[in-house]
Amino acid sequence: MPLFGTDGVRGLANGPLTADLALHLAQATAVVLGQGRTAEARKAAGKRLTAVVARDPRVSGEFLSAAVAAGLASSGVDVLDAGVLPTPATAYLIADIDADFGVMVSASHNPAPDNGIKIFARGGVKLPDVVERRIEAAMAGQMLQPTGVGVGRIRRFADAEDRYVVHLLASLPHSLDGLHVVLDCAHGAASGVSPETFRDAGARVTVIGADPDGMNINDGVGSTHLDSLAAHVVRVGADVGIAHDGDADRCLAVDSRGRIVDGDQIMAILAVAMKNRGHLVADTLVATVMSNLGLHRAMADQGITVVQTGVGDRYVLEAMNAGGYSLGGEQSGHVIMSEYATTGDGLLTGLHLMAEMARSGRSLAQLASVMTVYPQVLVNVRGVDRTLAATDAGVASAVASVATALGDSGRVLLRPSGTEEMVRVMVEASSAEVASEYAEQLAEVVRERLAL
């Protein structure tokens, strides 16, 4: 089974994900990412490689980040330990100080017992699959073993947070003066830096979910648990609520009445604002196949093209890089603004969303009305042969029949799971009842035709 998943190496901390694995993964990373032309030039000039290491506040991050730092230093890499910081901050800092690469220890929105190791290449970009495979192969080979003055140093990255905050504030097209926001930091990596940044941007800030104890990350709070945020926004009369996940690469929102504004709606708002300011490259937005039909309709009405990708922010980023586009993301709240970031950044997204509220004088509900959200029903069909989902004639016929019945008022998507014997059936329609009826109808066909 491959070591790397869709977003780095992830698993139960001290289960599959041990300190020994973290150390050897770091050593292999030093071998592979130390082979580029820039890295070789630095070594030829007598300079060691440099890496940024950071983590979210879950308790296992303490020993795992220490193991990563030890593995890198033992391979001759100088380590700048940034402590607890969001994933997008780590990516930004790698580029900002011209480090050779960086490592973020986090399991994002997963519960506290899990953890993960995300590796970023030079410039703060995620690794392509081919490089991940090279690192995995290198773990079985000879590691770098310098001695004496050849080993790396581990130092505290003292101004890491300040650099990131200054970067975020410098990106804003408008201050947040006059707006009241409730921030839900998921007891995660944004607990310190997010409230500070939104206050510095001019907002009045009420904070929840910002008391990490190492075990409460994402526990009933954050972007996967929005009920508490919605209740707080209504209770204190705030203009908006912003929710991060554990490593703060996501942003979801709620309006002043506590209604959820998801990643599709946020992208729609930002796309229109960026187009009006001349910052939306080629008047194009990149989104995954899971984005709502309403997003496509709204963007067409605004003269904005939508480029579709597979599910996953890495595929969004690949399409953005290939076309030079400036905005893309996912319904889940991973939003990439490539003018300012190389990955999804929940703080950056929330700041720019509120900046458009302040600039326009419109409420979040008014801005979100740019798109109509079509009811979307998702059914997970388990115990089926996912490999046949795209080729079975009976399934294809059923999908075509439903697509014809829906016409322009909906759409159908079948997506095999990448990790288990399951097929996801998604139907969008003009009403939840119609979407549910067709989704269950297709799910039954999948069960009958693809049963194991």
pLDDT 10s digits, 2-16: 788 878 899 999 999
pLDDT band with cut points at 50, 70 and 90 for residue 47: confident
The pLDDT value recorded for residue 41 is 75
pLDDT band with cut points at 50, 70 and 90 for residue 310: confident
CA–CA distances in Å: residue 355 to residues 176, 233, 351:
6, 18, 6
pLDDT band with cut points at 50, 70 and 90 for residue 60: very high
The angle at the Cα of 61, spanning 55 to 67, to the nearest 5 degrees, equals: 100
- For the chain, the distance separating the N- and C-terminal CA atoms, rounded to the nearest angstrom, is 22
Cα(221)–Cα(229) distance, integer angstroms: 8
Kindly state the average pLDDT of the residues 265-279.
97
The mean pLDDT of the chain is: 94
* Among candidate residues 273, 249, 229, the one with its CA nearest the CA of residue 368: 273
Ordered by start, the domain boundaries in the chain are: 9-158, 163-368, 376-450
Confidence check: pLDDT of 273 > 80: yes
Kindly state the average pLDDT of the residues 80-84.
98
Cα(8)–Cα(14) distance, integer angstroms: 17
The pLDDT value recorded for residue 43 is 72
* Among candidate residues 273, 32, 44, 296, the one with its CA nearest the CA of residue 141: 32
Contact 291, 268 (CB under 8 A): no
Give the burial class of 257: count Cβ atoms within 10 A of its Cβ; 0-12 exposed, 13-18 middle, 19 or more buried.
exposed
Active site residues: 108
CA dihedral 403, 368, 263, 276 (to 10 degrees): 100
Q: Which CATH superfamily is domain 9-158 in?
A: Alpha-D-Glucose-1,6-Bisphosphate, subunit A, domain 3 (3.40.120.10)
Q: Between 2.30.130.10, 1.10.150.120, 3.40.120.10, 3.40.50.450, what CATH number should domain 163-368 receive?
A: 3.40.120.10
Cα(250)–Cα(243) distance, integer angstroms: 8
The pLDDT value recorded for residue 62 is 98
pLDDT 10s digits, 414-430: 888 866 789 999 999 98
**% of residues, the chain, pLDDT over 70:** 98
pLDDT band with cut points at 50, 70 and 90 for residue 409: confident
pLDDT 10s digits, 338-397: 999 999 999 999 999 999 999 999 999 999 999 999 998 999 999 998 888 888 999 999
Q: Between 3.30.310.50, 3.40.50.300, 2.60.40.10, 3.40.1130.10, what CATH number should domain 376-450 receive?
A: 3.30.310.50
pLDDT band with cut points at 50, 70 and 90 for residue 304: very high
pLDDT 10s digits, 120-160: 999 999 998 899 999 999 998 877 788 999 999 999 999 99
The pLDDT value recorded for residue 28 is 96
Cα(266)–Cα(295) distance, integer angstroms: 10
Kindly state the average pLDDT of the residues 26-44.
83
Domain 163-368 in the same topology as domain 9-158: yes
pLDDT 10s digits, 168-185: 999 999 999 999 999 999
The pLDDT value recorded for residue 44 is 67
Cα(240)–Cα(219) distance, integer angstroms: 22
Residue 162: both structure tokens together: 């300040």
Kindly state the average pLDDT of the residues 63-85.
97
Residues at the annotated binding site for Mg(2+)? 108, 245, 247, 249
The pLDDT value recorded for residue 145 is 84
User: Which of the two residues, 376 and 299, has the higher pLDDT score?
Assistant: 299
